[in-house]
Structure 1
């Protein structure tokens, strides 16, 4: 078995789709099919059946696929330990990063780190914070950058806080919000709950949502064009001119904030490359640097 074959089994079991798995592995479909046939030949058993609705694993194939996840992790651990034996900071850091942090913070952060440690490589997975948190929990990534307060018992570093605000092209009367057009955008459940709880504490009627868009950047453009107000973290509006902002507070007068964290496992610090990155982050003021 090639090390790549274990990765093929792992991804194919997750995707249940030949095309998607081939794309993830940067292989052609015939090449992927050939590797599967070679695996079946090596183990002397049928691994998958292909149908109209995708790939179905045989009991033997399912056993191999579940073993593949452990094998992939073990192979990665071996590579990391070998790299860790050198005095130089080398190796690959696997990140799970929220989409917002990926777009607005991560590129410069990685560039600054790469300037100090040119032999380090990066693997980055992006998505909703909850998915990145789960990837870290399963040890699919070394470090997760997530937005919101998740219950994490491992190592963590608070990176920055953002106050939530009302954003509008024109001045608004906060008391009149339920009667004004609101623009919502798809976001994670923690932020949605934060906003919903604030709303229920201040108003007895629901908001008048006239638009629900897919991304916060689209929402910003709608607000900038005077099509309604939105509730979002204030940092998202940095650099935008002509937008009125009203910072939100809770009933005791404290600001309504959203936190961004760096999470990682205790044992990850056994790797020099993770030690170096964590120390690098702790030496920065992320909000000012980025």
Structure 2
């Protein structure tokens, strides 16, 4: 068996389709079938349960898949060792950030890191801040910018950058610019635009349960920018971190109503895994990233 055959098997084990795998590997289906047959002959076992309708890994196939992946990883590590010259770090750092984070917190970090390590490039996935922790856990991102939970995160390290209160934003040309009364009165009578998930929603739901408040929810959406876009239409008042209003394109279009200590502050910063396991190149990038994060002290 060779590395190309192992890669073909790994690809087939993921796609579970001979035609799609053959296209991806630039093979004919018959050539792919011959590769699998050779692997089964060399291992003296049945790796795939295949019929006209589906392809499934056998138990032996699952074991062989793990072995094949380990061999491909070792080859990649060897290639990196053989091609490694000097101490210059080169590669891609995958990050996850909301749109707001991309123009507030992330630029300074990128400048710090690329000044020190000019051959490190960034690949940024943008999305709802509520998805940041999952992106790091699932290894889609080496680092993320998000609100840091008060209770901390298992197997994660965090670096706080800024604190910002949660506030309610009402469109200046909308019907909700003159809110009066207690928070309970306001939230019981004014339509709200809320995030579907995330720390702000958790705090909001906890508070209304503790006060027995029954709010009118006009809309629920993902991402602070989407909350503000709907609030700007006059649909209701939006719940967002103040940093989003202070730095975003909607800066002068809203009246801000404080939530006081009701919902507290966002502690916004970086989230990463405590330890990194992977290729030599990615380990170097991870270590470089940690050094830059430590410079925030």
TM surpasses 0.5: yes
- Is the counterpart of residue 216 in structure 1 residue 212 in structure 2? no
Cα distance between partner residues in 2 of 1:102 and 1:71: 39
- Is the counterpart of residue 181 in structure 1 residue 191 in structure 2? yes
SS at match of 2:138: helix
1:92-241 alignment runs, 5 A limit: 92-100=91-99, 103-104=102-103, 105-106=105-106, 109-110=109-110, 113-122=113-122, 128-136=131-139, 142-149=142-149, 150-153=152-155, 155-169=157-171, 170-173=177-180, 174=183, 175-188=185-198, 190-201=199-210, 203-237=211-245, 238-239=247-248, 240=250, 241=252
> Do the aligned partners of 1:96 and 1:125 also contact (CA within 8 Å) in 2?
yes
* Structure 2 gap segments, 5+ residues each: 41-45, 172-176
Cα distance between partner residues in 2 of 1:179 and 1:51: 61
Cα distance between partner residues in 2 of 1:121 and 1:148: 25
Superposed CA offset, 1:174-213 (max 9, x none): 332121111123333x442122223334x31222112223
Closer/same/farther in 2, CA of residues 260 and 75 from structure 1, 3 Å limit = farther
Q: Which moved more, 1:58-67 or 1:107-116?
A: 107-116
Q: How many residues align?
A: 269
Closer/same/farther in 2, CA of residues 274 and 209 from structure 1, 3 Å limit = same
> Do the aligned partners of 2:194 and 2:201 also contact (CA within 8 Å) in 1?
no
Aligned residue in 1 for 2:174: none
Aligned residue in 1 for 2:43: none
TM-score for both structures, normalised by structure 2: 0.68
> Do the aligned partners of 2:155 and 2:273 also contact (CA within 8 Å) in 1?
no
Q: Per-residue deviation at 1:7?
A: 9.0
How large is the RMSD of aligned CA atoms in angstroms? Answer: 4.1
Closer/same/farther in 2, CA of residues 147 and 255 from structure 1, 3 Å limit = closer
SS at match of 1:88: coil
Q: Which moved more, 1:174-183 or 1:273-282?
A: 273-282
> Do the aligned partners of 2:160 and 2:267 also contact (CA within 8 Å) in 1?
no
Larger radius of gyration between Structure 1 and Structure 2: 2
Closer/same/farther in 2, CA of residues 276 and 197 from structure 1, 3 Å limit = same
TM-score for both structures, normalised by structure 1: 0.69
1:55-74 alignment runs, 5 A limit: 56-68=56-68, 70-71=70-71, 74=74
